[in-house]
């Protein structure tokens, strides 16, 4: 039985701080859906498997799966850096005023 995955839509306040959060939330959900679809279509795929054997569709699917996993790991990393930059800007403004 599959459990539903929900898109975590940022709050309005979070979207004001980092507007790209909205697009990144949808991108992350789409990447996750693509991962699942590839794994269903090609059960022999493994995201950590760098051996590209098999028919061309399997080779391409394996490469795509790896990139999707990579993309999904970059989104939270980007958001953390954006949050840190925003906090640093706020702290700098607090020192000025």
> Does the global pTM surpass 0.85?
no
pLDDT category, 3, cuts 50, 70, 90?
low
- What the block records as the tokens of 2 is 């599959």
21-41 and 56-96 helices, crossing angle to 10°: 160
Sequence ranges of the domains in the chain: 19-96
Rg, Å, the chain Cα set: 18
DSSP state of 47: T
- The answer on pLDDT for 89 being more than 60 is yes
User: Tell me: the pLDDT tens digits for 25-83?
Assistant: 999 999 999 999 999 999 888 655 555 567 888 999 999 999 999 999 999 999 899 88
**CA–CA distance, 88 with 92 (Å, rounded to integer):** 6
Cβ-Cβ contacts under 8 Å for 32 (sequence gap 6 or more) = 5, 72
Looking at residue 61, its pLDDT comes to 92
Task: Using pLDDT thresholds of 50, 70 and 90, give the confidence band for residue 97.
Answer: low
């Amino acid at each position: 039985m599959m459990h539903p995955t929900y898109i975590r839509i940022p709050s309005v306040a979070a979207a004001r701080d980092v507007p790209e959060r909205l697009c990144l939330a949808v991108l992350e959900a789409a990447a996750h859906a693509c991962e699942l679809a590839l794994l269903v279509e090609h059960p022999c795929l493994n995201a950590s498997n760098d051996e590209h054997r098999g028919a061309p569709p399997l080779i391409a699917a394996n490469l795509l799966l790896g990139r999707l996993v990579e993309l999904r790991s970059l989104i939270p990393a980007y958001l953390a850096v954006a949050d840190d930059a925003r906090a640093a800007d706020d702290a700098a403004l607090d020192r000025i005023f």
